[in-house]
Structure 1
Amino acid sequence: MISVQTPLRRFLLLPGNRHLTEHLLNALTALLVRRHGALPERLTDFAGATCLVAPLDLPIALLITLQPPPQAPRLQLVDPARVDSAGVNQPRATIRADIATLVELLEGRIDGDALFFSRDLVVEGDMEVAVALRNAVDDAGIDLIADATSAFGPFAAPAERLGRRMTGFAARLHRRFNPVRSHTA
């Protein structure tokens, strides 16, 4: 089996690539906040809190810093091993699952409680922050592809079709090179 974990981590965490990726992720987050305005309001009490979202099948993680409304949360790409050991920017909560599960949670397509009790979703640290974040995105009605492609104006519909095809292809590629791991081991 081919492992792309280390080269991908190195590539994404190079300063220029990291900056570009963070810029794109933060632009997408700002777009989500514009389209789903109640999202930051639901997290008012947690402004300044950080949450680490660590996909189990990717070599990088996102450190999310909640901002006061109406600002969008700020996202940073991090090496999950360094965040755990450095003690700097220690997150108040950590959420771990495979990337497909995390995307489905973000879009509200699966039940986070059931995943938590089946151990397909691991939450550590301040449960109040994790639950507030989960409740906010659950109620938002996020559709990442539709929301992201809405920025294309009159080309949104063809861009959405292309985006859905590309994500299907990416999911198949990801499954091929990253076999499913047991989360309970």
Structure 2
Amino acid sequence: MIAVQTPLRRFLLLPGNRHLTENLLNALSAVLVRRHGAMLERLADFADAACLVVPQDLPMAFLITLRAPPLAPRLQLVDPARMDTARVEAPRATIRADIATLFELLEGRIDGDALFFSRDLTVEGDMAVVVALRNAVDDAGIDLIADATSMLGPFAAPAERLGRSMAGFAAQLQRRFSPAGGRMA
């Protein structure tokens, strides 16, 4: 598995690719704030706090830096294996789970407490930051596919249908090839 991830990690973390990916993630972050603005009010006390989100089945992690409203959180791609030498701020909290679980958490479709106690989700560091994030996204009603495709104007509806179809196909693949049967919508 490491042999497969190493070229992907190198590709995604190349300066040009990293910049493009971070720009897309930050554009999505701005859309989420625009469509679910109440989230920011719940996170206002944690402006400048950084949280590292580590998808255990991807070769990179996301450093989310919360900012004072009305600014959207800033996202950076980081190599979790090199966090100690990276020129990024130290996270106050770290969240680890597989990517499907993280998406389900973001959309509020799964109980974070149950995942934590079953050890499908691990949390380290400042629990107050993690609880604030969880409460903010639980109440936001985020739908990543609808939110992301809303940026496409007149192409939003067909792009959303395509996105939902691709998500369904990805879920089927994960169920078929995952030893645990996987969770993904």
TM-score by length of 1: 0.90
Deviation at 1:167, TM superposition (A): 2.5
| Aligned partner letter, 1:77 | L
Aligned residues of 1:107 and 1:138 also touching (Cα < 8 A): yes
Matching residue of 1:143? 143
Deviation at 1:3, TM superposition (A): 5.1
Flag the 1:26–1:46 CA change in 2: closer, same or farther, 3 A.
same
Asked if 1:68 corresponds to 2:68, the answer is yes
Matching residue of 1:97? 97
Matching residue of 1:183? none
TM-score by length of 2: 0.90
Aligned residues of 1:28 and 1:148 also touching (Cα < 8 A): yes
User: What runs of 5+ residues in structure 1 fail to find an aligned partner?
Assistant: 181-185
| Aligned partner letter, 1:4 | V
User: What runs of 5+ residues in structure 2 fail to find an aligned partner?
Assistant: 181-185
Matching residue of 2:107? 107
Q: Number of paired residues?
A: 180
Q: How far, CA to CA, are the matches of 2:178 and 2:66 in structure 1?
A: 31
Flag the 1:119–1:9 CA change in 2: closer, same or farther, 3 A.
same
RMSD: 2.2
Aligned residues of 1:2 and 1:177 also touching (Cα < 8 A): no
Flag the 1:176–1:26 CA change in 2: closer, same or farther, 3 A.
farther
Deviation at 1:155, TM superposition (A): 2.5
| Aligned partner letter, 2:152 | F
